[in-house]
Amino acid sequence: MSSMIARTCGVIKVALALLLIAAVLLNCANIFSRYFFNEAYLGSDELQVFAMVIIAFLGTLCVSNEQQHLRMDVLAHYLRPAQKRYLSIAESLLTIIVCGIMAWASFGFVQRLYNMNQHSGMADIPMWIPHGTITLAFVAITLMAFLRLIELSRNKGTSS
- Beta-ladder partners of 85: none
Question: Which is it for the CA torsion 107, 14, 123, 57, positive or negative?
Answer: positive
Q: Quick one: pLDDT band at residue 157, thresholds 50, 70, 90?
A: very low
pLDDT at 69 over 90: no
Q: What is the pLDDT of residues 10-28, one digit of tens each?
A: 999 999 999 999 999 999 9
Grouping H, G, I as helix, E, B as strand and the rest as coil, residue 118 is coil
End-to-end Cα distance, the chain: 20
Burial (Cβ within 10 Å: 0-12, 13-18, ≥19) of residue 47: buried
Prediction pTM value: 0.81
